[in-house]
Amino acid sequence: MQPDSQNRTTFLLMAVLLPPTLVIITYFILGNMYFSSLTTFGSASAVAFLILFGIWILQGRLGWKMLQIYPSHRDTMKRVLLFSTLNLLIVILSVTLICWVFDLLSILDYRFTVKTWLRGLMAGAICTIVNQAVYETEASYRRIKISQLEAEQLKKEQLQTQFDSLKEQVNPHFLFNSLNSLSSLIATNPDKAEAFVEEMSQVYRYLLRSNEEQLTTLQKEIDFIESYNMLLQTRFGSGFQPVLQIEEKMKEWLLPPMTLQLLIENAVKHNIVDPDTPLVVQLYTQGEKLVVSNNLQKKNKSVVSNKVGLSNIISKYKLLNYPEVEIKETATEFIVVLPLIKNT
């Protein structure tokens, strides 16, 4: 906590605790005559206040210094014992000073006696213990609050680092697969390869721009995925059949960028894509969720997977603290349900 904030806290606690402390100590020194009239109460309180106010400022500064010297929770006992010892010495000084001034000014004809002095010390010691307990409670609460804020900030920084790491995985992964597709197309159909390069450049413009963001609108993802689907249709022809049914009102809702591309790429990678047995990929909204599904027609030969696709999507939602992604597989269909985030 900054010094200005600490000073405000000290003065606030002083405003609450000083008046009852002043009254208790003065009463124990003067006895019942302290309340004999408003005039005597006011004059005695004014003298005690002038002394205790200065003493209280000294105690506040001393307490702040103790927290600087012993800031850790592990040092609490050491700090409390040292501060308590110093406070008791200050109480002896302040009560002695009050008694001496009362005697000097003949407040209510008071005369210094050991008995009244000891009574004042007892009252001062009790008030000091109570007040110090209040200060320690407030200081502990403040330290816990600061620790929580620091932990939360650290957690956010760690999540951002992890999220940035996930984003970095997508660029090379997507480039690798696109170049593989292009390489295959060049050998079989050069004209389509040229169209593929053109569409690929548009896709990459979106990729480079959106990958700097944590979230993007469903509308932007749909615009991008339509270009990406054209790449796949250029390569596979009628073997790849995308079906999009998106409610207009949901197009401004949010999701992590590149999510749909990863899911479609995953479907193409693990399933047969052929005009005789077309792969049908459906994207449709269902309430506040987006469903991406494809018919299952797994390749006979197992496909080597680096597990970037689905795990990347799941990790993004988890790191951003959003509802979990649902993954379902039936005998005929593979389904991924993505929570959409409201654009506030």
The single-letter DSSP state of residue 271 is B
Q: Is the pLDDT of residue 2 over 50?
A: no
DSSP 8-state secondary structure symbol assigned to residue 70: S
pLDDT beyond 80 at 243? yes
CB count in 10 Å sphere of residue 256: 26
Lowest mean pLDDT segment, chosen from 24-28, 111-115, 299-303? 299-303
Total Cβ atoms within 10 A of residue 145 = 11
Q: Where are the beta strands (DSSP E) in the chain?
A: 216-217, 240-245, 254-255, 279-286, 289-295, 326-329, 333-339
CB 215 within 8 A of CB 249: no
Q: What is the reported pLDDT for 305?
A: 54
Q: How confident is the model at residue 297 (pLDDT cuts 50, 70, 90)?
A: very high
Collapse the DSSP code of 295 into the 3-class scheme (helix H, G, I; strand E, B; otherwise coil) and give the result. strand
Residue 28 has pLDDT above 80, yes or no: yes
Compare 102 and 204 and report the one with higher pLDDT: 102
Q: Is the per-residue pLDDT at 164 higher than 60?
A: no
Q: Which residues contact 299 (CB under 8 A, 6 or more apart)?
A: 270, 271, 272
Which position has the token pair 């106010």? 53
Phi-psi region of 17 (alpha: psi -120 to 50; beta: other; left: phi over 0): alpha
pLDDT of residue 83: 77
Q: Which domains are present in the chain?
A: 3-152 (no CATH), 189-339 (3.30.565)
**Does residue 116 come out as left (phi exceeding 0), alpha (psi in the -120 to 50 range) or beta?**
alpha
- pLDDT attached to residue 211: 58
User: What is the sign of the dihedral through the CA atoms of 187, 188, 194 and 198?
Assistant: negative
Q: Phi-psi region for residue 307, left (φ > 0), alpha (ψ -120 to 50) or beta?
A: left
- pLDDT, tens digit (0-9, with 9 covering 90-100), for 103-139: 888 877 788 888 888 988 888 888 878 877 777 777 7
How far apart (Å, rounded) are the C-alpha atoms in residues 258 and 301?
27
**C-alpha to C-alpha distances, 213 to 91, 171, 227, 254, 263, nearest whole angstrom:** 61, 14, 20, 11, 19
The pLDDT, as a whole number, for residue 45 is: 86
With 50 as the cut, is the pLDDT of residue 49 above it? yes
Q: What is the average pLDDT value for the chain, to the nearest integer?
A: 80
Residue 289 has pLDDT above 90, yes or no: yes
Which pLDDT belongs to residue 222? 93
Task: Say which residue, 153 or 275, is predicted with more confidence.
Answer: 275
Write phi, then psi, for 215 (nearest 5 degrees).
-135, 150
The SS3 of residue 123 is: helix
Residue 302 has pLDDT above 70, yes or no: no
In the predicted model, what is the mean pLDDT of residues 74-102? 82
Token reading at 200: 């690929």
Give 33-46 pLDDT, tens digit per residue: 888 888 888 888 88
Residue 23: which region, alpha, beta or left (left: phi > 0; alpha: psi -120 to 50)?
Answer: alpha
**Range 232-260 average pLDDT:** 90
Mean pLDDT within 5-16? 65
Instruction: Kindly state the percentage of the chain with pLDDT values over 90.
Output: 21
Q: For the ranges 187-201, 234-248, 283-297, which has the lowest average pLDDT?
A: 187-201
Q: What is the pLDDT of residue 238?
A: 93
Question: Residue 151: what pLDDT?
Answer: 67
Which has the higher per-residue pLDDT, 14 or 47? 47
Q: Which residues pair with 291 in a beta bridge?
A: 284, 337
Ramachandran sector of residue 213 (left: φ over 0; alpha: ψ -120 to 50; beta: rest) = beta
- Select the highest-mean-pLDDT range: 192-201, 212-221, 227-236, 247-256: 247-256
Residue 208 has pLDDT above 70, yes or no: no
Cα 71 to the chain's mean position, in Å?
Answer: 23
